[in-house]
Amino acid sequence: MKKIMFLMLALFVGFSASAQSMPDVKVENQEGKVISTRDLVDGTPMIISFWSTTCKPCIMELNAINDNLYDWLEEVDMKVVAVSVDDARTLSRARAMTQGQGWDDYTCIYDKNQDFKRAMNVSLTPHTFIVDGKGNVVYSHSGYTPGSEQELFEKIKELK
Angstrom distance (rounded) from CA 97 to CA 51:
11
Please, which residue, 44 or 121, has the CB nearer to another protein? 121
In angstroms, give the least distance from the CB of 69 to another protein: 8
Nearest Cα residue to 79 out of 52, 43, 37: 43
In angstroms, give the least distance from the CB of 39 to another protein: 12
Task: List residues binding another protein (CB under 8 A).
Answer: 1-2, 4-5, 8-9, 11-12, 15-21, 23-25, 31-34, 53-54, 56, 63, 66-67, 69-70, 87-93, 95-97, 99-102, 104, 112-115, 118-119, 121-124, 127, 137-143, 145-148, 150-151
Q: Which amino acid, one-letter code, is at 21?
A: S
Strand order in the sheet with 34-36: 20-21, 136-142, 127-131, 46-51, 79-84, 107-110, 26-29, 34-36
In angstroms, give the least distance from the CB of 129 to another protein: 10
